[in-house]
Structure 1
Amino acid sequence: MDACNWMGALADVGPSAEAFVNAMAAQSSTASTPPAKIMVGDYSGFEFDHSVDGSVDINACDGGKLCIHSGSRHDCSRWYLTQNEHETYRVVDLKGQRAVVAVAHIDESINPELMREARAVFDSIVFGSDK
């Protein structure tokens, strides 16, 4: 629930896209935009932006990082190290299983052309069914 004080507090939120979106929005120390309903190929899901809450001192957080999410209850697999980091997430329900795709923006020093290319790749990802 708190991306800053996460050691020993990571919890399984279940496999649904909606559960992931709700868990990300409920985190303290971070901020999320309201999720927009989207279609990614043949599947429905949500898109939202996620960032660091402006008042957080990341150096005072567990491990010196904000734990955004993890595939393990014992270690953080996605984190932010600076105030400038933010991501756009697409979370899709693939027949009861969750798919998470994100494009991250680490800081302003990244070449804008590379960011445009990363966004184009992100926007091109679709999930098809065997209809």
Structure 2
Amino acid sequence: MINLCDIQNPVVLFCFVLLTIVYLYRGLDNQGLGGYLPEDISKLSHLQHVNLSQNSIKGHIPSSLGKIAGLEVLDLSYNFFNGSIPESLGGLTSVRILNLNGNSLSGRVPAALGGRLLHRASFK
């Protein structure tokens, strides 16, 4: 299992970037990833598709994800995320798919997300 907590290590970050490139068309879904998603993920500023669904990632969704301006797909479904949906995700103006199903999220959907995404949202 890859522990995403170690991604702050430059060597691990480099490997993660390479792994992301290798799995670009396959995705990183259901790959046995665990740990926490680090705030540093926003340093991968050219990401367009993030599919980390069906893993064992836990903790809060990093608010820094809202800084990745070109992000079109964000699928964090079926992990162990908890807490609230970060307000910063409302700044993802390019996002077409946002899937957060199957986590232990609480609180309200940020207003900025509501107007743009909820007309095609699915809540399970």
Which has a greater percent of helix?
Answer: 2
Give yes or no for TM over 0.5: no
Structure number with higher relative contact order (C-alpha < 8 Å, ≥ 6 residues apart)? 1
TM norm structure 2: 0.32
